[in-house]
Amino acid sequence: MKRNFSHVFLISLVLFLSGAVWAQDSVYTNSTGMEFKRIPAGSFVMGKFLPPYPRPSVESGNASSQANGYREGDYKLAEELAKKDAMPGFTATIEKSFYIGRFEVTQGQWKKIMGTNPSVFQGKKVPDDANRHPVERVTWADVQKFLAKLNQLEKGRKYRLPTEAEWEYAARAGATEDIPWSKIRQSAQIGLRSTSIVGQKAPNAWGLYDMLGNVWEWVEDYYNEKIFADSISPKSGSEHVLKGASFTGDVKNATYMTHAAGPGNGWDVGFRVVMETKE
Instruction: Report the C-alpha gap between 93 and 90 in whole angstroms.
Output: 10
The span from the CA of 239 to the CA of 236, in Å, is 9
DSSP secondary structure string for all residues of 133-199: SBP-S--HHHHHHHHHHHHHHSTT--EEPPPHHHHHHHHHTT--SPPPHHHHHHH-B-S-SS---TT
> Cα(7)–Cα(17) distance, rounded to whole angstroms?
15
- Residue 270 in contact with other proteins, rule: CB under 8 A: no
Q: How far is CA 152 from the centre of its chain?
A: 26
Minimal distance in Å, beta carbon 256 to other proteins?
Answer: 9
If the CB atoms of residues 124 and 235 are measured against other proteins, the closer one turns out to be 124
What is the sign, positive or negative, of the torsion defined by CA atoms of 202, 204, 209, 213?
negative
Residue in 35, 70, 108, 139 binding other proteins, rule: CB under 8 A:
70
Q: How far is the CB of 155 from other proteins (least distance, A)?
A: 36
227 binds other proteins per the rule CB under 8 A: yes
Nearer CB in complex with other proteins: 40/51: 51
Query: How does DSSP assign 38-75, residue by residue?
Result: EE--EEEEE--B--------TTT--GGG-TT-PPTTHH
Note whether 68 binds other proteins by CB under 8 A. Answer: yes
- Comparing CB distances to other proteins, the nearer of 154 and 239 is 239
Helix (H) and strand (E) counts in the chain: 6, 11
In the region spanning residues 42 to 61, those forming contacts with other proteins, defined by CB under 8 A, are 48-54
- Which of the ranges 5-13, 33-41, 142-150, 237-245 carries the binding residues for other proteins, by CB under 8 A? 237-245
Q: Which is nearer to other proteins, 1 or 67 (CB)?
A: 67
Q: Does residue 181 bind other proteins (CB under 8 A)? A: yes
Binding marks (x or -) toward other proteins, 246..265, rule CB under 8 A? Answer: x-xxxxxx-x-x-xxxxxxx
Per CB under 8 A, which region of 6-14, 16-24, 30-38, 64-72 contacts other proteins?
64-72
- Nearest Cα to Cα of residue 75 among 88, 86, 94, 61: 61
Site string for other proteins, 90-119 (x = CB under 8 A): ------------------------------
Binding residues (CB under 8 A) for other proteins: these are 48-54, 67-71, 74, 77-78, 81-82, 84-85, 120, 177-182, 193-194, 216, 223, 225-227, 239, 242, 245-246, 248-253, 255, 257, 259-268
